[in-house]
Structure 1
Amino acid sequence: MRADEIRQLARRSRIGRGVSVLDLCCGVAGPGRLITAESGCRYLGLDYSASTVEIARALAGDLPCRFEQAHVPPLPDGRFEVVLLLEAMLAFPDKRVLVRNVARALEPGGRFAFTLEEGRPLTPRERARMPDADTVWLIESAELTAVLREVGLTVTWQEECSASHHATAVAMLQSLRADSAEIARQIGARALAELITAHQLWSEWLGGGRVRKFALVAEKR
């Protein structure tokens, strides 16, 4: 996500000073650190990778961020005013279980702010082409909206950001190819080939409308 997209999502979900924020699958928490630094929120980031959590802690420095290693779902005990899920909805095959847990973790009036790769589920041929296809679970917008409604979450804002994410995918693909020799030296030729294939597919899908990218906020009734 671009910084302006992160800031807009934070504004739309009313993240501000003292607001309790739970960031699921935070990775090294670039968005989370930006939001915390600029808003003064109370931030907790969760990620399954212990090494990633350690990197996030080191990068946070003196920011008032907390990080924990955890598999999601389930979510930690307690209620939060905002739950974030950025660039990770795609990885959950069972969206119902995920959003049910999110709804439980939100206070009444709480907001679920997330990004969504929207489209029909991959065909068998597409799954065969996509590296790590077991982490690519598309869902159509109408189906997800119905799933959110089932657990008492109503979409209050959404914005399509397919064009900017297509541009990012294209730029990353170009960078991978330009620096292929050095990247292959560090991670191996096979891993590099998979990265290039994945970014090529995302470039095609976002550019051709096979997949659309959205930022959304859903509020707990």
Structure 2
Amino acid sequence: MSALERARASAFPADEYVGQESFVSGGEVRQLARQARVGLGVSVLDLCCGVAGPGRMISAEFGCNYLGIDRSASSLSTARERAEDLRCRFEQLEIPPLPDGPFEVVFLLETMLAFRDKDALVREVARVLEPDGRFAFTVEEGRPLTHREQELMPAADTVWPIELAELTAVLGNVGLTVTWQQDCSSSHHAIATALLLSYGAHRSEIAAEIGTQATADLITSHELWSDWLGSGRVRKFAMVAQK
């Protein structure tokens, strides 16, 4: 395990680290999967899956038919190595568009933030869902970043929060209705803060792996997320919307 991954794992309670960069815990992933009615043989499309820590977990525990997609070849290579004998498939894709379905469940964990055009994303999700299909996701809720906040946040061109009223309208426009939501702001603030402390404590080892500037950006972004989630500037929600 790399120094970066050890630092991430140490920020979570025992058995709650999902195996990749995230504020979401294993328990929260399981709850979201249950609310989306993931089960044996259910077809699941996982968007921006990365190394597929949550995807591998739900595949192992729920027995779903899982397809993870991501644009990173290296992340998918790691995902395939770690999936072993699980019922997981992976494809390298830049999204949108999405692979043709239909799928019973579409997952999007911790990356809706990166999509500026959420209308286009959600239209594609609705297109590939079967009737009564479920879109299960986490979302950073709040006003768009100010110019000053964009200057402070590394990779600000991938940070696009959305207010709940606007998100509900975007979902409704394509026939998706929110059936469940949970405010995760408090738990994600605690994880963001724990990650910040862990990255600081292991700064030199992490810098040896990913470089000084990347480490500085990692710490700066977590300082901001800890502040924003703690102050209410941004709230985190887990949600399920049904077609």
- Relative to the length of structure 2, the TM-score reads 0.90
User: 1:104-183 counterparts in 2 under 5 A?
Assistant: 104-183=127-206
Deviations 1:157-193 (A, max 9, x none): 0000011111111111001110111111222211111
Matched, 1:4 2:32: no
Residue of structure 2 equivalent to 1:78: 101
Residue of structure 1 equivalent to 2:43: 20
CA distance in 1, matches of 2:105, 2:65: 10
Deviations 1:61-97 (A, max 9, x none): 1111000100110000120000000000000000000
CA distance in 2, matches of 1:55, 1:86: 18
Structure 1 segments of 4 or more deviating over 2 A?
none
CA distance in 1, matches of 2:202, 2:239: 34
- Say which SS state the counterpart of residue 181 (structure 2) adopts: strand
CA distance in 2, matches of 1:157, 1:216: 6
What is the RMSD of the two structures over their aligned residues, measured on CA atoms? 0.6
- Say which SS state the counterpart of residue 200 (structure 1) adopts: helix
Query: Runs of 5+ in structure 2 lacking a partner?
Result: 1-23
CA distance in 1, matches of 2:233, 2:82: 36
Structure 1 residue 56: deviation in Å? 0.2
Query: Runs of 5+ in structure 1 lacking a partner?
Result: none
CA distance in 2, matches of 1:40, 1:189: 41
Matched, 1:59 2:87: no
Q: Amino acid of the residue matched to residue 33 of structure 1?
A: R
Report sequence identity in percent: 69
> Aligned match of 1:97 in 109, 120, 141?
120
CA distance in 2, matches of 1:133, 1:181: 25
- Say which SS state the counterpart of residue 126 (structure 2) adopts: helix
Matched, 1:217 2:243: no
CA distance in 1, matches of 2:74, 2:97: 20
- Say which SS state the counterpart of residue 165 (structure 1) adopts: helix
CA distance in 2, matches of 1:73, 1:106: 14
CA distance in 1, matches of 2:207, 2:130: 47
Q: Amino acid of the residue matched to residue 8 of structure 1?
A: Q
Matched, 1:200 2:223: yes
CA distance in 2, matches of 1:192, 1:75: 32
CA distance in 1, matches of 2:63, 2:210: 37
CA distance in 1, matches of 2:154, 2:73: 23
Q: Amino acid of the residue matched to residue 59 of structure 1?
A: R
- Say which SS state the counterpart of residue 10 (structure 1) adopts: helix
CA distance in 2, matches of 1:137, 1:65: 30
